[in-house]
Structure 1
Amino acid sequence: MIRRVPRPWLALDIVGAIVGLLITLPLSYTFSAGELSFWLPVGLVSDGLLVASAVLLWGAAAISRLSPAVALAVAWVGALLQMGSGLPPLPMDVAVFAVVFATSAWGSRRMLWLGGASALIGGLVAGLYIGLLQFDPATAESPIDLRLVLLGITMGLTVVLSLALAWGAGLLWRVVRQNRATREAQQRAEAVAAEEQERVRIARDMHDIVAHSLAVVIAQADGARYAAAAQPELAQEALTTIGQTARSALSDVRMLLTQLRHRQGDGPQPTLADLETLFAQVRQAGVEPRVTVDPTPPGEPPGAIQLAVYRILQEALTNALRHGRGDVDVRLSWWPDRVDIAVRNAVDPGRGATAGVAPGSGHGLVGMRERAQLVGGVLSAQHEADGFVVRATLPIGPSAN
């Protein structure tokens, strides 16, 4: 029954209704001067009924946005009071158009159709009423005057059409409001989805950076502890590698956190040129990556493909450091329309599935699959007879020469 309306709009409606009343009431009084009601002569009572009708009609217009249902009921009371007083159509009846507009613009679905029905019925009643006002029993040749019937029909259709236009304008405004609300909701949903995608991307980058760096640091720390007594120079070299790896990871993490905080800039975006640094870190951790690139890239692969290749190899080598043993075989095959990746390593029974790391589980494998899917590729990771193998195929289309 009562809608939430911003105070400025409610104040504007009330002020507008007051202005409309002050303008149309004197005009209505002038146009109704000398008119006789069915049972009341012109005088104080008739003038009071005119004022009461005007106040009801413009009062309905004042609250039409706040409560279309109440406004429609009050407008009907005002209109019936006007007709019951024998008053002709007057300028104050303009308020009815505002009420009909409000029923279709801001009313509920039921009120929308009640407003349309009121426009139709009100127009027909107004036409009949106008015909009755023109009927004079003293001069009429018969109880039914064809001329007055045609006049009533014409006036009724005119009023119906006028009210229908007001109702249709409100319906159009209703559609505009709904489309605007739908568009705003869609924009909010797209903003939330984009933000979530960005957070997922940053979380994925964070995992790739931190997991790989920690794996290298742990391997170097273990090696330094064993070499400290027998070969101090190897321990010193391991500590240097640990420091360099930690500083590099810290720099990347700070960049990602800045991006997350300010929602601007790009995070670390490695390319194929950074693969040698990645392989060097793995070698320093005590694992030799045996890398085969055949065939080589025929041109410069897209940046998204280079990033995906780097991150997949980074995570696969990190898993090999954490759960495998021995060296790792890495094969890259750059075809004109795709790149095939294969990373194979032997599994350490004490650090693999028996140590609580099930094949295909964990954030790393999920992240690799997501990396492949983002560029339209596929990735599989599974145990085979000779070890654990990660395979990926990433489509790249024709490479640029």
Structure 2
Amino acid sequence: MIRPLSRTALALDIVGAGVLFLLLTPLSLAFYGPSTGSLAVQGAAAAAVIGAGLLMFGGVAIGRLSPALALIAAWLGAVLQMLAGFGPLPIDLAILLVLYATSAWGSRTVLWWGFGSALFGGLVAAVFLVVVSGASFGTGTGWDQLTAGTLLLALSILALGFAWVCGLLWRVVLRARRTRSAQLQAESLAAEEQERVRIARDMHDIVAHSLAVVIAQADGARYAAAVKPEMATEALGTIAQTARGALSDVRLLLTQLRHRQGDGPQPTLADLETLFAQVRQAGIEPRITVDPTPPGEPPGAIQLAVYRILQEALTNAIRHGDGAVDVHLAWLPDRVEIQVRNAVGSASSQPSGGHGVIGMRERAQLVGGTLQAEREGAQFVVRATLPIGEGA
């Protein structure tokens, strides 16, 4: 019965209804009020018009707040007007405004009650004008009265129905706006979620790989310190260098997250040798095969995907591997195939899932490729196929 409405909107509706009441009620009394009869009769007629106007424009004032109550008030005002013997008056503009409100802001039930009121109200108005007011054409015979009634019925329904249809159109516009707003909000949330996933993926690739190298170097330095101090010093230098690089990458990602800037510099194929060097320093010797070599300059997205997939696969080899790791890249005219194999011990917990594998799979899917990561006997194998197109 009561819709949520701001105080400002309610105040504007009340003021607007009051202004219309003050303008149209004197016109109704001046041009349509009785000019003959006793003062008591004239006073009663004026009171009826004023009362009907108060009811009708009271409905206009609460049209957006409660369309159902507004429709009831309009019907009461119309009935009071007909009981007083008045035909159409300027104050009847309020009925059109209330019908507009029922279809524009009313519930589904109120919407159809407004439609029924437009049809039934048109019928009542036509019958009242013909039977009570005596409206007719020609000599006033039965046929003339039927013709006049039919014409008045059509005009009444058209007038009332036009107001109801206008409100229905505005209802459609409001619903379209809400739908568009919800769509834009959903798209914004989806874009934000994709951005969070991208940054989380980059953070995982950078931090996991760097920590794996640091842990391997720290373990090696601890055992080498008692035998070859110079190896411990070299390991500490590698740890410092790896940590600085990771810190720089993390700061770049945090800057993107805070200021919504562009992607910034991303790794390319030229950075693979640095990646392989870090793996060697961690005690894992990668055996690298590139056959065939890239026929040209691959797209930047493909280079980034190849780098991140290899970085995560080699990180897993450092953390869970047992010995060397085989890396094979095949740059075919329309795709690049990646295969990374590393031996795992019988008690190793080489993961077949987790954030690392999920991140590699997402990297492949982002460029339209596929990735599989699974254990095959004593080896853990990562296979990826990334399309690069004929023009790469």
User: Which range, TM-score by smaller chain?
Assistant: over 0.9
How far residue 248 of structure 1 moved from its aligned partner, in angstroms, is: 0.6
Q: In the alignment, what sits opposite 1:58?
A: 57
Give the share of equivalent positions with the same residue, in percent: 64
How far residue 262 of structure 1 moved from its aligned partner, in angstroms, is: 2.7
The residue type equivalent to 1:235 in the other structure is A
Q: In the alignment, what sits opposite 1:319?
A: 316
What is the CA–CA distance in structure 1 between the aligned matches of 2:374 and 2:33, rounded to whole Å?
97
Q: In the alignment, what sits opposite 1:277?
A: 274
SS at match of 1:255: helix
CA offset digits 1:126-167 (Å, max 9, x no partner) = 11111124429xxx988x632232222211211110111111
What is the CA–CA distance in structure 2 between the aligned matches of 1:126 and 1:193, rounded to whole Å?
55
- 1:1-400, aligned counterparts within 5 Å? 1-34=1-34, 42-135=41-134, 145-266=142-263, 269-350=266-347, 352-353=348-349, 357=350, 359-385=351-377, 387-400=379-392
SS at match of 1:229: coil
Question: Which stretch has the larger CA shift, 230-239 or 377-386?
Answer: 377-386
What is the CA–CA distance in structure 2 between the aligned matches of 1:198 and 1:51, rounded to whole Å?
64
After TM superposition, the score normalised by the length of structure 1 is 0.93
SS at match of 2:385: strand
How far residue 89 of structure 1 moved from its aligned partner, in angstroms, is: 0.6
How far residue 372 of structure 1 moved from its aligned partner, in angstroms, is: 1.2
CA offset digits 1:225-259 (Å, max 9, x no partner) = 12212222211111111001001101111121222
How far residue 283 of structure 1 moved from its aligned partner, in angstroms, is: 1.1
SS at match of 1:344: strand
CA offset digits 1:16-48 (Å, max 9, x no partner) = 1011011101110012233789xx984111111
CA offset digits 1:306-353 (Å, max 9, x no partner) = 111111100000011111122211010011111100011111334x23
Structure 2: gaps of 5 or more residues: none
SS at match of 1:135: coil
What is the CA–CA distance in structure 2 between the aligned matches of 1:203 and 1:112, rounded to whole Å?
50
What is the CA–CA distance in structure 2 between the aligned matches of 1:112 and 1:168, rounded to whole Å?
11
What is the CA–CA distance in structure 1 between the aligned matches of 2:36 and 2:81, rounded to whole Å?
12
What is the CA–CA distance in structure 2 between the aligned matches of 1:293 and 1:271, rounded to whole Å?
16
Please tell me the root mean square deviation across aligned C-alpha atoms, in Å: 2.0
Tell me, yes or no, if the aligned pair for 2:33 and 2:46 is still in contact at 8 Å.
Answer: no
What is the CA–CA distance in structure 2 between the aligned matches of 1:109 and 1:33, rounded to whole Å?
38
Tell me, yes or no, if the aligned pair for 1:101 and 1:168 is still in contact at 8 Å.
Answer: yes
Change (3 A) 1:295 1:44: same
Tell me, yes or no, if the aligned pair for 1:298 and 1:399 is still in contact at 8 Å.
Answer: no
SS at match of 1:230: coil
SS at match of 1:382: strand
CA offset digits 1:276-299 (Å, max 9, x no partner) = 111111111111111111111112
What is the CA–CA distance in structure 2 between the aligned matches of 1:251 and 1:36, rounded to whole Å?
96
Tell me, yes or no, if the aligned pair for 1:324 and 1:345 is still in contact at 8 Å.
Answer: yes
Structure 1 runs (4+) greater than 6 angstroms displaced? none
What is the CA–CA distance in structure 2 between the aligned matches of 1:141 and 1:170, rounded to whole Å?
40
